[in-house]
Amino acid sequence: MKKEKCAIAVSALLCLSAGVSAQDTLKKKELNEVVVSATRSEKSLNDVGRSITVVTADDIKKSGATSISELLTQQEGIYVVGAGQNPGMTSSIFTRGANSNQTVILIDGVRITDPSAINNSIDVAELSLANISRIEIVRGSHSTLYGSSAIGGVVNIITKKADKPGLSVDAMLLAGTFGEGTSEISENVYIDYALKNGFYVGAEVYNTNVNGQNATVDSIKAPVYKHPDMGDDFSKLDWVAKAGFKNAKFDVYASYKQTRQVTDIDKGAFRDDDNYTLDFKRSLFTYGASYKINEKLSVSYIGGLSDMKRIAIDDSSVVDSAGDFDRQYVKGIYEGKIMSNELQANYNMKGLNIVLGGGLYNESMNVNTSFYYYNMWGFPAGYEEIKSSLDSAAPKSSTANVFLHADLGGELISEKAKWFTLSGGLRMSSHNVFGTNVTYEINPSFKIAETGLLYLTYATGFNAPSLYQLYDPTKYYTWDTQYTTGLTRGNKKLGPETSKTFEIGFKQKISNVNLSAAYFNTVVENVIEYVYLWDKNVPVNMLGQGFSDDYRGDTYINAGTMTTQGVELGISSRLAEKIIVSANVSLVSGKLKYSPADINPEQTGGNHVQVYNSGSFVTKEVEVSGLSRRPSTANLSLTYMPVKILSLRADVRYVGSRGDVYYESTLGPYGALGTVSVEQYTLLDLSAAVKIWKGLSAGLRVANVTDKQYYEINGFSTRGRSFYGNVRYSF
């Protein structure tokens, strides 16, 4: 990095750390924290027999993270692809080796996803760190309480509520750079006002503008004229308003949030594009009310309505030394809507906690794409237009559910048995396409002395097929219908992916040391795969030869079994009055297995099945070892406080080697996805925070100190040595 660049970065009033001292934060963490996401009721963190992490607002401030992707990837069991790439790049979450659409993301208990995405997974880059009170992470299958997708875990983002009468303000200005020609500037202002009688109102605005780096890696060596953009930029504006009333019996609120972001993207790995943009907008309205009937019984209601639209435009670009254009213009409009409503009752007494509830979850989506190809004479002399739409399919789904969860303490029988707790639950879900699904869990836990807990969990889960996988009307056809199967790409006969998870874990507090350990094994059956179909009457080794027409189209089917297993270890301690250390290690492995016996011929017409994800033909049992983008990871954080107003911190992150995918034209007649190895890497971040004056803090963070060159995804660039900072004022 040039000296001038360093001077600019350092002079930007730098800090990405806390506005409170690390000592104050530590004292808060040592309190007996209460969590709600693990059991849908308030319960002490140390009494819950699940693997849980709570990230507070103070933790977020001192973490140095500039995005939720960065923050989550610091937690054990989680790897977020895209966290270290150019800001705005698509970020996918992988929890405990589960697929990217098998982790539930909630905002105040309301599920947030993208119904217009192919697999219904959310882009984590959409979320910002604005308006967050705390984040509760529950690892492991949790479909009994949260329904579809909760196979890998649950991430519940709990937003702010005014907690003291009067006016409160929190304002932050951030500036930074992460490579030559790059800059990032963010502003965030939060204001709330609360009356003594319990009424409150709050609002927040978060804005960020990024002059980014080229998001792809330039590997083209051929002597052609290339016209790469100097950087892929990103802008984001979030604003939120929330009002409510809270007292000893009532808690009522309503919140509206709007997210708008524009991202420069590229065609794919190693394929730059200087005229490809993604314009995303989501409006989210959430609401809730709870009433405490008496000391034992309470009822609550939560709901949400989400409306999102994503517009992708790929204009033509210069592609050769003569200045010729590819003469293409592609526009896609992707829309999705979610409506969620749930009612639950909680009964709590000594040794017994019962949660009973039910709700309705609706999704709908639509996609309209236009493809223009300008002929050799250009526009307006002539052009071809191809349009496609899902209007006729009217993709939508509805899921109704009822659930019951109970914690039974041993003290119901005898005080001598209070060391034992048996938790369990049952959920019945009714989906308008695939019908009824039942999930359950059994979770015994055992107190070891006063501060230790040993627990076991056996839980089932499910993941519903996406609207695209169910309804895409695309159909393969030829001039002679004898070569077609009549099957569409979308498959309404798809069943849900179903899982079985076994977990054993232990957590212990010894003096000022907190320890945790867990082993898990998850088997997901009926995995939904995108496949090619080939003529069943032609041997596999003869497909695609000569002028034969062997292709029979593509579709989605329930095809395989995925197994993941791993070990997670965590430790946090105050080694001395001025030194705090925390670390976690996550080891994960997985495999996929396909068998002809597991494939329903009604979904394939009895034809040969080639799995696009690996290129394998399922004519016999096939096993694929290793899962793409699911590495083992380790994190280490060390904080030193030489004086009360100053905090120094070092963070080390290790990511193990893993496989990634790329298109391999030699895999079968039409090609498929092959696997390439991506190297391991280790990153070092350093930060300093200083409390300048009451409510005013400042500092410095240097990320990727060694300027390590690494990949998260093969073919996409990551950020080099980065300088960030902010000033924050709160009162």
Residue 573 pLDDT > 80:
yes
Mean pLDDT of the residues in the chain: 88
Cα distance between residue 78 and residue 631, in whole Å: 9
Closest CA to 445 of 494, 406, 409, 496: 409
User: Minimum mean pLDDT among 20-34, 394-408, 461-475, 555-569: which range?
Assistant: 20-34
Residue 27 pLDDT > 50:
no
Q: Give me the pLDDT at residue 23, please.
A: 37
| 279-308 average pLDDT score | 96
Q: Give me the pLDDT at residue 530, please.
A: 96
Q: Give me the pLDDT at residue 550, please.
A: 86
Cα distance between residue 515 and residue 583, in whole Å: 10
**Residue that is written with structure tokens 């960030």 in the block:** 724
pLDDT per position as a tens digit, 88-126? 899 999 999 999 999 999 999 999 999 999 999 999 999
> Which stretches of 34-165 are assigned E, i.e. beta strand?
34-35, 43-44, 51-56, 78-81, 92-95, 103-107, 110-111, 132-139, 153-159
CB 667 within 8 A of CB 674: yes
Residue 520 pLDDT > 90:
yes
pLDDT per position as a tens digit, 663-678? 888 887 888 998 999 9
Residue 167 pLDDT > 90:
yes
Q: Give me the pLDDT at residue 42, please.
A: 87
CB 209 within 8 A of CB 219: no
Residue with the bigger pLDDT between 251 and 38: it is 251
Q: Give me the pLDDT at residue 665, please.
A: 85
Residue 11 pLDDT > 60:
no
| 331-355 average pLDDT score | 95
| 281-297 average pLDDT score | 96
Residue 1 pLDDT > 70:
no
One-letter identity of residue 646 = L
One-letter identity of residue 371 = F
Q: Which residues contact 450 (CB under 8 A, 6 or more apart)?
A: none
Confidence of residue 305 (pLDDT cuts 50, 70, 90): very high
Confidence of residue 22 (pLDDT cuts 50, 70, 90): very low
Q: Give me the pLDDT at residue 241, please.
A: 96
Pairing of strands 43-44, 34-35: antiparallel
Residue 568's domain is classified under what CATH number? 2.40.170.20
pLDDT per position as a tens digit, 255-274? 999 999 999 888 777 777 77
- Number of structural domains (the chain) is 1
Q: Which residues pair with 243 in a beta bridge?
A: 201, 254
Q: What's the pTM?
A: 0.91
Q: 705: which 2 tokens?
A: 């100190």
Containing domain of residue 690, as a range? Answer: 3-730
Residue 522 pLDDT > 70:
yes
Residue 376 pLDDT > 60:
no
Residue 15 pLDDT > 50:
no
Q: Which residues contact 295 (CB under 8 A, 6 or more apart)?
A: none
pLDDT per position as a tens digit, 123-134? 999 998 888 999
Other C-beta atoms lying within 10 Å of the C-beta of residue 378: 11
Q: 371: which 2 tokens?
A: 């493809």
Residue 362 pLDDT > 60:
yes
